[in-house]
Amino acid sequence: MLLSNIYVDNFRNLLDFEITFTDFEVIVGENNIGKTNLLSIINMVFSNKRIYFDGNDFNNPQIPITFETTFLFSSPDEVAVFFDPEGIINPENNEVKLKLTASWIEDIGNVDASFSFIRDDLPDDEKEIEISSLKFRQSISCYYISASRDLRKEMNTRSGAMFELYKSFFPNQPYLCNL
């Protein structure tokens, strides 16, 4: 499975931003151009933690944050990650498109977020298939370790990204790390 494309709009400084991936990517650039923001929203969508946006995440609170991503599959085994009872896999190009839309509700200071799968091969009124975010998020692992990490904290707390990564590789091993 290849994460082939990401589109982000209105998330912090990412406005109408699109990136296409190949088999191997390195993200580099000047300070304050959005590298960390891109990794942050990827982590928000694909981690197993609750998705939380606040008012500062919206570049313009009057319009929604949009995050769209496309996965391409090269084998039936990869497709199995997305148990497909709703028909989310586009058979024409063997891809799954996921969309997150988050709107800021000023009155209550909260966010209304929804997930859907997009099928470009279907008629317009059937293209968007709304889903529960947990259905697919439990099948995709994403671990974001901040560049300003504290290794002791990451390994000694059961909520740290390093601990989560360790558990994913060694699920049946006892937690022995004590730095």
pLDDT tens digits along 125-138: 999 988 766 666 66
Range from 72-76, 164-168, 175-179 carrying the lowest mean pLDDT = 175-179
- Structural domains in the chain, CATH included, are 2-144 (3.40.50.300), 147-179 (no CATH)
Question: Which one has a higher pLDDT value, 133 or 100?
Answer: 100
Residue 82's pLDDT band (boundaries 50, 70, 90)? low
- In what helix (H) or strand (E) does residue 44 lie, and over which residues does it extend? helix 35-46
Rounded to a whole number of angstroms, the CA Rg of the chain reads 18
- Residues 141, 126: Cα–Cα separation, whole Å: 29
Task: Name the residue with tokens 């006892």.
Answer: 174
Give all strands of the β-sheet with 65-72 in edge-to-edge order: 17-20, 2-9, 65-72, 95-105, 110-118, 128-131
- Beta strands (DSSP E) in the chain are 2-9, 17-20, 65-72, 95-105, 110-118, 128-131
Task: Quote the pLDDT of residue 13.
Answer: 97
- Residues 133, 45: Cα–Cα separation, whole Å: 9
Residue 84's pLDDT band (boundaries 50, 70, 90)? low
Mean pLDDT, rounded, for 78-91: 71
- Residues 71, 92: Cα–Cα separation, whole Å: 13
Report the 10 Å Cβ neighbour count for 161. 19
